[in-house]
Amino acid sequence: MDAQKIRTTAGRGRLYESVLDTIGDTPVIRVNNLAPEGIRLYVKAEFFNPAASVKDRLAVNIIEAAERSGKLRPGQTVVEATSGNTGIGLAMVCAQKGYPLVVTMADSFSVERRKLMRLLGAKVILTPRAMKGTGMYAKAAELAEKHGWFLARQFETEANADIHEATTAREIMADFAGDRLDYVVTGYGTGGTLTGLSRVLRRERPATQIVLAEPANAALLSSGVAQERTPDGGPAKTHPAFEPHPIQGWTPDFIPKVLQEAVDQRCYDQLVKVAGSVGVDWARKLARHEGIMTGISGGATLAVAMGIAETAARGTVILAMLPDTSERYLTTPLFEAIPEAMDDAEVEISQSTPGYQMG
């Protein structure tokens, strides 16, 4: 853009009937300062969704699919297990549509997530961190059975991958229409993004390589060990390859049924392990050098994309999925090195003029 011209906007050309109509159509943004020369690296910024994460998509589709099928009755309570983003998305949807929501969440996940859900009117039931994701999952199922509530079942429902096939994938196809797209990089939580994207990319852009990332110390898929399941497709127990990791939203302690489709059909070309500390590092770099704020999961995805970029041929085009925003991680390792008080350099700047100094 010409630096001499002021930026202008023209409006979206439409009025929205509710916040739910603003879900999707998230922008693809070029990474200019971090990408190697000759490489076009982009990120799909899912934090532009109204509740600031990719999980807004599955949240609205789970509820609306259940409304269409009659599985969710007017005024019925919705219950779900979540590490945070799905719960926040569901809380937004339920607030707009008038459903009570109860969320179960292990107490190891960031405090700001539970506060956001409560701000949106949800009840948050904490489960012991020692019981991991399977514990919060079992608690949600237990509550649903006891009270006759609607269990959202994000890890099993077809509504999850379907919405990414219908929206996320179609947006990427439109944004890169007539252009090359060599790699798409994503992590997995439920597996909905990967599964939905792969259905479209394998069919319509088979030359695009899909790269899947998972935590180095919770490399469930890399282990080659199958997930033990209950008859309804849920996890029967914690996967033996799981260890606690800091990449919230990625890789619960089981392989979700939604992800299993992509595993069974080998819907990815590469599987890459990435350390949580590397995700933290790249999330910070993205903020400081590009002005793009994402969480540890987005940083980890970018780290894998950068690894590809470092050895790729000139002209290669890479897209990395950024699931959410850094503000979901204020009480996590992402912000541990970010001070609240002024550091020495800031104090020096303050003292360079005589007035209005802190005591």
Active site residues: 55, 297
Give dist(CA 274, CA 258) in Å, integer.
22
d(Cα 233, Cα 205) in Å, to the nearest integer?
30
CA distances 174 to 39, 181, 279, Å, are 21, 12, 29
CB 191 within 8 A of CB 256: yes
* Distance (Å, whole) CA 9 – CA 133: 44
Q: Which residues pair with 42 in a beta bridge?
A: 30, 319
Starting at the edge strand that comes first in sequence, how are the strands of the sheet with 183-186 ordered? 28-31, 40-45, 317-322, 183-186, 209-215, 270-274
Q: Which residues pair with 215 in a beta bridge?
A: 274
By C-alpha distance, which of 59, 10, 48 is closest to 26? Answer: 48
Number of Cβ within 10 Å of residue 283's Cβ equals 27
> Parallel, antiparallel, or unpaired for β 28-31 and 40-45?
antiparallel
**Alpha-carbon gap, residue 125 to 117, rounded angstroms:** 11
Residue with tokens 């282990």: 223
Q: Is residue 69 within 8 Å of 92, Cβ to Cβ?
A: no
Residue 64 contacts by C-beta under 8 Å, 6 or more apart in sequence? none
